[in-house]
Chains A and B, each alone.
Chain A
Amino acid sequence: MNHLLSFSSSLQGYLAVGAILFALGIFCVLTRKNAIGILLGIELILNAAGINFVAFSKFRTGLIDGQIVALFIMLIAAAEAAVALAVILRFYRLKQTIDADEASILRN
């Protein structure tokens, strides 16, 4: 318990959470057929990056700029989700599906 506590209050603990979150995000992005699922995976990856920023700013620099970047990431993720959802909506209108594999018009 003590060991776990010390782990949770150390840099490595945060980084481990970030890495797990990042891996889950990647996994989600690569395996989902559904475009919205992929979008969710991207959100996970972004937040994994945000955790890393906050962790490094807290344990290494002691400055606040890392946390500000995390806030920026959240902001951009929100904007990105809005744009992506709009794209998905248009795509659904076109193909009657949101399967990402169907988005291959540019190929041929």
Chain B
Amino acid sequence: MAQQALLIALFPLIAFVIQSLIGKKLPRHGDFISVLAILGSLVVATPIFMKLITEGHVFDSFQVTWMSLRGAEAGRLNSAVTIVIGVLINNLTAIMLLMVTLCAFLIHLFSVGYMHGEERYHLFFAYISLFSAAMLGLVLSDNLLTFFICWELMGLCSYLLIGFYYKKPSAINASIKAFMTTRVGDTLFFMGIAGLYYIYGTSNFMSIYKAIELGTGHGVTILGYPALAFIGFMVLMGTIGKSAQFPLHVWLPDAMEGPTPVSALIHAATMVAAGVFLLIRMFPLLEAAHVVLPVVAYVGAITAFLAALIAIVQVDIKKVLAYSTISQLGYMVMGVGVGAFSAGFMHLITHACFKACLFLCSGSVIHSVHTQDMREMGGLKSKMPITFATMFIATLAISGVPGFSGFVSKDRILGGALAYSMEHQGHYLIPFLGFATAGITAFYMFRMIYMTFFGHARDEHKHHHAHEQPFTMTIPLMVLAALSFAIVFAGPTGIESIDHVMPVKWFDHALEGVQVEMGIAEHLSPEAEAVHHKAHGLALIISLAVAGLGIFLSSITYLKHLLSAEKFKRMAGPLYNLVWNKYFFDEFYLGIFIKKGLLNFNQMLATFDDKVVDRIFVDGWRDIAMVTKNVIGKFDDLVVDRLMVDGTADVMSGGGWVLRQFQTGKVQQYLVLTVMVIIVALFFANLGLK
């Protein structure tokens, strides 16, 4: 099974190769190749998922040795490292594979319509194929090394895709920003992987789980820090970079410069999910490190809250979704941080579906009205009924309305956070920020819906030209909207106390299996069980209340216009300013790190390049070449030509002259010579005889 699963990642990779080499010459610029490839992946991934559903558990893996390295003698714990890579199929993988292939397939399908007629159409499909291949490879990896390779490949693809409209300066800047910002996290993450090799000599997930269960690695230090905490924080930094967590969240909103299907792919189903997926894969290690998890929780909670606040004031439809993505990713990270591991993973899956739907719907709207500014939209409900319906369903899901998928996962995360704060006194900020975010999320999502689809058309011309999209674009929306219902993941309503009568909980069963595999199966004491039960009950009520409040406030402000948003804006004053400028993070980074640090460093490098590399190495090399040329030229002239060529001739002519002196033409001289030669010859002959 694991070998066949490799095909899932290989199909899009092959599509990428074909597309990038001959895509332009193919009919339709080869878009069908990419779509068919990802469909092939989906077809291969489905049986694995169905096996999980029917048997409740899948596990398979295979390994190949990539290379054996003789280690440095200085390594205390491991003197030699054998790098073994392979494929790991477990419940997590099965769910992720289906989610990624399905979302990616629908996004590919949507792209066929959305990107129609664009320049570099074939390259777009090449890139998203590579992107899908990288994400699927990452999910399939059984070790952090290939995981990291795919992780970096996605960074590359995000760079290429965000900068796809390469003629727009803002797109280029955004692509560089995304690439550089994630690079910070990636570098630290790689140090974490190095740390893992240092203490365990492997980065295989199953080996790590086993090692942690056995308790090895405690007491080892790296750079003076406890090894597990060090690795845990480095892994967290990787996640912070890739999943756009505070304080490295700045790249994600700018990444909206890419084509909308790309936003859906990067920011819903694949890349940002990879960061959370990493946390989930490494959860046993984070848990064993003790100090890491609270930090994870705080990072997630702060990110969720701050991003949600920014989303309120955005007017660009994609920017709203971008900040909501950051906010929801914060939820997932928070979920992992408070130990609500399965809830975090569930939110990853549910969010992927409804956020992909939201992004594609926004793409549909943008494609229709040719603007991203919500102030120029309005009244699109009747013009684009399918888009409206699907986007509304997805909005209900993200806002946490019962019966929809987002409610189930978010409620569980919030319950977990509340339970965490009850168990660990003093961490009240985490659930507080969580609930506040839930309310704000409902508020801004409904604000977006109202501004886009309800009310009167604020731009008559654009409204007039708006139209519903063709089927290739609406079918993905409908499928993704259908996946936004709670029943797909849990019981009919998602409220645990009601649904325990009819257990359809394939997801929970799957996650329990994973926890056993990881060695972190929860065995709660009755008291803890009671606390959890109480927390979840309380969380349910509070989250329903805040979501309801958010929707209510949004409705009276943006639908009924009983409250004026402008008045609030003026009332909030400096606060509004702060949020509108995204807490001045960009300015901060630009001012402190880029201008003060990086730019100076760049200038230093440029000077070095100019003065040292160019002058000394390049020009110096020229000088050396000139001198060498002269020396060789002289050698050629003097030694080869003069000495050897001319010299030979001179020797010959000189010899000729010498010999010519004997040829006097005088018979008697010849005779004298003859006699002398004979005398000499006889003399020597005589010597010989004696």
Contact = CB atoms under 8 A, between A and B. Distances in A.
A107 B663 contact: yes
A30 B666 contact: no
Contact of B665 (A32, A38, A104): A104
B240 to A, nearest CB: 103
B352 to A, nearest CB: 109
A30 B675 contact: yes
B54 interface: no
B665 A30 contact: no
B675 A100 contact: no
Interface string A84-104: 000000000000000011011
A36 interface: no
B666 A101 contact: yes
B501 interface: no
B666 A26 contact: no
B663 A103 contact: no
B671 interface: yes
A38 B663 contact: no
Interface string B642-685: 00000000000000000000011111100110010000000000
A88 to B, nearest CB: 12
B599 to A, nearest CB: 90
A30 B679 CA distance: 15
Contacts of A106: 665
A29 interface: yes
Nearest to B672: A30
Contacts of B666: 100-101, 104
B664 A30 contact: no
B663 A30 contact: no
Give the interface size class of chain A.
10 to 19
A24 to B, nearest CB: 14
A83 to B, nearest CB: 16
Contacts of A101: 666, 668
Contact of A100 (B663, B668, B672): B668
A103 B670 CA distance: 13
A31 B667 CA distance: 11
A31 B671 CA distance: 11
A108 B663 CA distance: 10
B490 to A, nearest CB: 123
B664 A107 contact: yes
Nearest to A104: B665
B282 to A, nearest CB: 105
Contacts of B667: 38, 100, 103
A108 B664 CA distance: 10
A38 B667 CA distance: 10
B681 to A, nearest CB: 16
A34 to B, nearest CB: 11
A55 to B, nearest CB: 19
Interface string B68-91: 000000000000000000000000
Interface centre among A30, A31, A38, A106 (most CB of B within 10 A): A30
A101 B668 CA distance: 8
Contacts of A108: 665
A38 B668 contact: yes
A40 to B, nearest CB: 14
B683 to A, nearest CB: 16
Nearest to B668: A30
A26 to B, nearest CB: 6
Interface in A1-60: 26, 29-32, 38
Nearest to B660: A107
Contacts of B672: 30
A77 to B, nearest CB: 18
Contacts of B665: 103-104, 106-108
Contacts of A38: 667-668
B664 A26 contact: no
B663 A26 contact: no
A35 to B, nearest CB: 9
A29 B669 CA distance: 10
Contacts of B668: 29-32, 38, 100-101
B310 to A, nearest CB: 112
Contacts of B664: 104, 107
Contacts of A29: 668, 671
Contacts of B671: 29-30
A29 B670 CA distance: 11
A26 B668 CA distance: 10
Nearest to B666: A101
Interface in B156-179: none
A108 B668 CA distance: 18
A48 to B, nearest CB: 14
Contacts of A103: 665, 667
Contact of B675 (A26, A31, A32, A104): A26
Contacts of A30: 668, 671-672, 675
Nearest to A26: B675
A100 B670 CA distance: 12
Contacts of A100: 666-668
B668 to A, nearest CB: 5
A101 B672 CA distance: 14
A30 B664 CA distance: 15
A107 B668 CA distance: 14
A26 B671 CA distance: 9
A108 B665 CA distance: 9
A38 B671 CA distance: 11
B682 to A, nearest CB: 13
Interface of B: 663-668, 671-672, 675
Considering the complex of A and B, which 6 residue pairs feature the smallest CB-CB distances, nearest first?
A104-B665, A107-B665, A100-B667, A101-B666, A30-B668, A30-B672
9 contacts: A26-B675, A30-B675, A38-B667, A38-B668, A100-B666, A100-B667, A100-B668, A104-B665, A108-B665
Given A29-B668, A104-B664, A108-B665, 14 more contacts: A26-B675, A30-B668, A30-B671, A30-B672, A30-B675, A38-B667, A38-B668, A100-B668, A101-B666, A101-B668, A103-B667, A104-B665, A104-B666, A107-B664
